[in-house]
């Protein structure tokens, strides 16, 4: 998952898309060219439950089972 911090309002925005236009969901500023930061999700994308980090580096949701593993390029 990719994180960008809006240069206009300073709030974070998260996305799984890498190659599309990126508009801040909070203020509408185009942050497509803003540098990204990769982050492991703290909450499940699907149900909002707190993620648990495994020794393998994956994160898993204890409620719905959704798994996340950061892919490094």
- Do 35 and 47 lie in a common domain? no
In percent, the amount of the chain with pLDDT more than 90 equals 23
- Do 70 and 60 lie in a common domain? yes
- Return the pLDDT at 43: 82
Indicate the pLDDT class of residue 39, thresholds 50, 70 and 90: low
Query: Which two tokens mark 54?
Result: 């495994």
- Do 60 and 26 lie in a common domain? no
Q: What is residue 27's three-state secondary structure?
A: coil
Write out the residue range of the structural domain in which residue 44 sits.
40-73
Counting the structural domains of the chain, the total is: 2
18-34 pLDDT per residue, tens: 678 999 999 999 999 88
Q: Residue count of the chain, please give it.
A: 73
Rounded distance between C-alpha atoms, residue 54 and residue 5, angstroms: 27
60-72 pLDDT per residue, tens: 999 999 988 876 5
Burial (CB count <10 Å: 0-12, 13-18, 19+), residue 12? middle
10-21 pLDDT per residue, tens: 888 888 876 789
Q: DSSP character for 36?
A: P
């Amino acid at each position: 998952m990719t994180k960008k911090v809006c240069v206009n309002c300073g709030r974070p925005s998260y996305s799984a898309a890498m190659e599309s236009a990126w508009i801040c969901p909070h203020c509408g500023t185009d942050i497509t060219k803003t540098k990204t930061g990769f982050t492991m999700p703290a909450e499940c994308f699907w149900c909002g439950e707190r993620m648990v980090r495994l020794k393998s580096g994956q994160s898993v949701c204890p409620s719905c089972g959704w798994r996340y593993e950061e892919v490094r390029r």
